[in-house]
Amino acid sequence: MYVLCSPCILNPTLRADGITKPSDIEAFERTKVRCDAFGITMIPLPCPETIFLGPARKPGTFLERLDSPAFSRLLDNLEEQVSDIISKNGPPLCIIGVNSSPTCGVTSTYYGSRGDEPPKRAGRGVFLSRFPGIPAIDTITFSRYRVYLAAPLFSEAERSYNAHIGRLLKENLFSVHLPQELGDDSAGRIQNVQDRLFAANKKALEEADIVVAIIDGADADSGTAWEMGYAFAQGKPVIALRTDFRHVGACERVNLMLEQASTVVTTQEHLLAALNAPLLVKEDR
């Protein structure tokens, strides 16, 4: 399994001067860690901007500096190089790009202004747009893969379902913290065990990129609700899986506050789509 990736993910010095932020470096490193963890080879794309403008360059849009026949011919040649990589290795899992890049943006790119248009527009950069048949995902999104799985764990059925969802996430290249795997499976917990479990789960919540919460039932589990609220207060995305078809109101499936603090999905397929699972990533998600 391999991915094609924007070369600056592996070598940030290829980026234009002054645009790389600490958050970018963190995303690049997390992207590499995720690929290492799941045995995904990263094959860098050639960098059209560096080849055409040189390594030391100021930020600019496509229309300002790259809109020329010479650059178009360069893209033709580089497209052939990438086609050779694919012919040799087979189709990649996806392309990991860098949003805002005039060439390697995935869902946004600094294309440039015509008339009253803003310089930044939706869509792929001019190089990634050469490969419409290959799914693409931005490195910021790809780097968010550490999932805290919040769910009730008090019955065999609940624990079995939680384990199933955990396996599903791991199969789709997410790391998963599942509280029941810490031994939280008894009503007879003594105080030091409660302290250990609370500290371990709180730490995992703080380190997670995303919280997936299971909110089936007539009312959401109170511990799960607390975990969702804690994650929301920290600005972490929360995706709530509710397969229960019951509704408590005209617009509510289970609880107004929980639903307003999360993205609610009703199937496992929709859960993976909401997570931008690389194995299922759709165009321009």
Predicted confidence at residue 252, as pLDDT, reads 77
- d(C-alpha 244, C-alpha 35), whole Å: 35
182 contacts 149 by C-beta, under 8 angstroms: no
Q: Which two tokens stand for residue 203?
A: 């730490």
- Which pLDDT band holds residue 285 (cuts at 50, 70, 90)? very low
Predicted confidence at residue 185, as pLDDT, reads 62
Q: What is the mean pLDDT of residues 105-125?
A: 93
What is the fold, at CATH topology level, of the domain defined by 146-274?
Answer: Rossmann fold (3.40.50)
Q: Whole-angstrom distance between the N-terminal and C-terminal Cα of the chain? A: 21
pLDDT digits (tens, 9 = 90+) for 116-134: 889 999 999 999 999 999 9
Q: Which two tokens stand for residue 212?
A: 């997936």
Q: For residue 177, list its beta bridge partners.
A: 148
Arithmetic mean of pLDDT over the chain: 92
pLDDT digits (tens, 9 = 90+) for 207-253: 999 999 999 988 889 999 999 999 999 999 999 999 998 887 777 78
Q: Which long-range contacts (CB under 8 A, 24 or more apart) does 107-112 make?
A: 107/138, 107/284, 107/285, 109/62, 110/59, 110/60, 110/61, 110/62, 111/61, 111/62, 111/63, 112/61, 112/62, 112/63, 112/64, 112/67
Any idea which of 87-91, 99-103, 154-158, 188-192 has the lowest mean pLDDT? Answer: 188-192
The proportion of the chain whose per-residue pLDDT surpasses 90, expressed as a percent, equals 80
Does residue 186 carry a pLDDT above 80?
no
Predicted confidence at residue 250, as pLDDT, reads 73
List CB contacts of 98: < 8 A, sequence separation 6 or more.
Answer: 6, 8, 9, 24, 104, 105, 106, 138, 139
Q: Is 78 helix (H, G, I), strand (E, B) or coil?
A: helix
Give the type of residue at 146. R
- d(C-alpha 252, C-alpha 176), whole Å: 28
pTM over 0.85: yes
- d(C-alpha 179, C-alpha 150), whole Å: 8
Task: Sketch the domain layout of the chain as residue ranges.
Answer: 2-142, 146-274
pLDDT digits (tens, 9 = 90+) for 25-48: 999 999 999 999 999 999 999 999
